[in-house]
Amino acid sequence: MEQYTTDSLKEFCNYIPVRLTASERALLTVLESTLHVSEYTDNVDVASNRYGGGTSRGSIHKVRKILDGILEACHVATGLGVCGMLDHPSTVLKSLNTNTAISSNAKEEEDTLEKVIAEVPSGLSKKSRKAMKQAEKAKKKLEKKKRKQQLQKINVEYSPSIEVERVSDAEDIIDDSQPDIVEKKTSEKEDVTPSQYQNIKSIAALTPAQNEAFLQNICEIGRRNKVLNPSKMRATYGKLMHLLQDAQSPSIAKSLGFSLFKDLVMVRPFLQSRNAENILDDPRLLTATMYVKTKDEVTGEVVERHVIERMIDMKRSALNSLLKEYSQEQDATVDGGISQEELSRCIESISDAIAVVESNVAPVQRMIHLLESNFQQSSYEKEFSLELRGSGNSFSSNSRYGYGFGAFGGGFGNRDSSGPTLSHSHSTQYTFVWQSLTLWREVQRNMHCLWCCADSDLLSVNTSYQLLNTGQGLNRVQQCPKVGRVMRYLLNKTQKAAGSPWVGLSVIHLGDRDVPNALVFIDKYTQIPRFLKPIADFCDEIPELMENEKIASYVEHQFGDEHKLKMSVLSDYFKHGFDGSGDDGGSCIDGRLTSSWNWTSRIVKKNYYHAFMLSGFQGFDGDFK
């Protein structure tokens, strides 16, 4: 279990999204419904030849299809908001006021976007250039209107009709006027909201450009929800990111006239905006957000109920004391403070993030424990040896490339990807598996940071993508500099902690045919707990299965005893789940994960598959709802 300190928790809060409010969950439903009916990627990501690509994103035809797809999605989202009775400006503004994204890089990235947009060449047709000029004129006209309204507001604020000298100096009148002063402050805060939402009854009366704040908000809510709940939006998140990826393109942004991007709302910046960051230095926050285990993460044994209840009481007591000391009344935001509901949401967001990390790390930790407790590096049972003998096209982990795809993994080899491609002794394979699992554990501990980096890389205005056939279908190939830096740091940290020479390659595939972009990367590493947990759970449940006489008779007849059943499963996974098999497999960092994926796809052919099914196993894919 990860032991957090005050400093490490404060740093972690930079990557923890704030939990959604009730109004934001309603808007999330609008977004998901929009993405379900949208055919954006089907219409946009189409190759003109068998090799993929052939139609650049800057071509006239492609730009028109992208613009039509984005505007259609915006109109559908607005329409669904109207149908769900979420179209009144008060609903929109309530969500906007509680969803303030504060980021130190926001202004810098905005300036970069404007600079890049200004440098876009005008090598388009006359009709397209005319449309762009019209969009620019409309944008300038809207900005001019906003400036005029701001000047009018300033003139009203300094108008003699509201001078303070008209108020009596009497103490009783000053006391009576206090509610008016608070009310005035409230109205001044509300004036910060976009002017286009004033004096209208429905967002349906606005164009997508005028409704920019609402559209940015629902897109940010979807991205934030995915980081909060990686198991959700599995069928729609990719479509959302591809749409936003195109909307961030300088040429598309210039024609579109508005942006759909907004910084994610994170806990620490949110607390800073409410002048409540000092709560992160309070040691009680560690208790209020600690993870309550129901199972031992190493042995898998169930924790006793009275221990769980005692820890829950400790969390509740620490939470109440923090809320009492650091939060204010409901109108605290008027004075720049934080309300009890907002502070509670931030603390619960931290607790949620820690729970997600611990639940994802636990299966990896349990597999490491199963490896160390059932196998020895220096000796082995002949029946359950981890020794690998690869096929004729196999490579040793000490070879230059470690897999049969040529120097760059570009599909130039001719090896059979269905069998082992690595040749390891039992000792080498034991070390190879242990080091791979240790790296996966480190990655799972830092998934929130990787999610944020992946979001930033995908929606960067400085790197574009190419639509290519990578051998796994059409993919958007894009560089991932931020994800790459974090992964290299984690790999270096794991190699130093290993205490022995690193077995296999240290190559991290990112932005190539193996891992085309940050979306593919983050999706692959999110799967690790999904296929490790069923294996660990099955090994823990074997004694319980043996209590059934008929199942025990089957196991004894098929395997001999429960120990041999357990060792058959573990030796097969530790051997063939890390044998370099699978397309783009090998001993590189990504190839280790690919081999495990390949192993899960072939479990139905294993002699222990029926025993898996008897334990309640249903698959490694999880729930797509």
- pLDDT of amino acid 408: 36
Based on the domain organization, do 441 and 494 belong to the same domain? yes
Same domain, 126 and 209: yes
Q: Do 232 and 279 belong to one domain?
A: no
**Residues 333 and 441 both lie in one domain:** no
Q: Which residue has the higher pLDDT, 380 or 479?
A: 479
Percentage of residues in the chain with pLDDT exceeding 90? 60
For the beta carbon of residue 614, count every other beta carbon within 10 angstroms: 16
Mean pLDDT computed over every residue of the chain: 81
Buried b (16+ CB within 10 A) or exposed e, 471-484: eeebbbbbbbebbb
Q: Residue 60 — very low, low, confident or very high, per pLDDT cuts 50/70/90?
A: confident
Averaged pLDDT, 111-138: 48
Domain count, the chain: 3
If DSSP codes are grouped into helix, strand and coil, which group holds residue 540?
helix
Mark which of 262, 281, 314 sits at the end of a domain: 262
Residue 170: inside a domain = no
In the predicted model, is pLDDT for residue 575 greater than 70? yes
Q: Evaluate whether 113 touches 250 at the Cβ level (below 8 Å).
A: yes
Residues 256 and 274 in one domain: no
Q: Which domain holds residue 196?
A: 16-164+176-262
Give pLDDT, residue 73: 96
Q: Are residues 507 and 487 in the same domain?
A: yes
Are 335 and 255 within one domain? no
Q: What is the mean pLDDT of residues 567-577?
A: 96
Tell me what pLDDT residue 155 has. Answer: 43
DSSP secondary structure string for all residues of 460-499: -SS---EEEE-SSSEEEE---HHHHHHHHHHHHHHHHHH-
Among 100-104, 182-186, 461-465, 497-501, name the one with the lowest average pLDDT: 182-186
Within a domain: 218: yes
Average pLDDT over residues 335-352: 91
In this structure, what token pair is assigned to residue 620? 């490694």
Nearest to 517 by CA among 475, 572, 456: 475
Q: Are strands 466-469 and 474-477 parallel, antiparallel or unpaired?
A: antiparallel
DSSP-H helix ranges across 55-125: 60-83, 89-97, 106-118
Is residue 30 included in any domain, yes or no?
Answer: yes
pLDDT at residue 189, as a whole number: 39
Residue 475 counted as domain residue: yes
Residue 365 lies in a domain: no
pLDDT value of position 128: 46
Cα distances from 57 to residues 122, 131, 476, in angstroms, run 14, 17, 11
Mean pLDDT of 454-471: 93
**Residue 379: inside a domain:** no
Q: What is the pLDDT of residue 325?
A: 93
Instruction: Check residue 52 and report its DSSP letter.
Output: S
For residues 65 and 125, membership in a common domain is answered with yes
Has residue 399 got a pLDDT over 70? Answer: no
Whether the CA torsion 518, 523, 524, 526 is positive or negative: it is positive
Question: Is residue 361 situated within a structural domain?
Answer: no
Whether 377 maps to a domain, the answer reads no
CA triplet 196, 198, 204: central angle to 5 degrees?
65
Task: Please tell me what DSSP assigns to residue 423.
Answer: -
Interatomic CA distance for residues 434 and 456, integer angstroms: 32
Owner of token pair 């805060």: 189
Question: Quick one: pLDDT at residue 83?
Answer: 87
Q: Which of the four pLDDT bands, split at 50, 70 and 90, describes residue 279?
A: very high
What pLDDT, in 10s, does the model give residues 532-565? Answer: 999 999 999 999 999 999 999 999 999 999 999 9
Q: Do 284 and 232 belong together in one domain?
A: no
pLDDT at 582: 75
Return the SS3 of 36.
Answer: helix
Write down which residue in 214, 235, 262 finishes a domain. 262
User: What does the pLDDT read at residue 194?
Assistant: 61
Q: Which residue has the higher pLDDT, 295 or 584?
A: 295
Tell me the three-class secondary structure of 162-213, residue by residue.
HCHHHCCCCHHHHHHHHHHHHHHHHHHHHCCCCHHHCCCCCHHHCCCCCCHH
Pair (92, 230) in one structural domain: yes
Is residue 127 over pLDDT 50?
no
pLDDT at 182 (0 to 100): 34
- Same domain? For 208 and 303 the reply is no
pLDDT of residue 603: 94
Q: Please state which of the ranges 7-21, 81-95, 138-152, 221-235 shows the lowest mean pLDDT.
A: 138-152
Mean pLDDT value of segment 503-525: 94
Q: How far apart are CA 144 and CA 125, in angstroms?
A: 28
Q: How far is CA 577 from CA 504, 563, 580, in A?
A: 15, 20, 8
* Same domain membership, residue 289 and residue 149: no
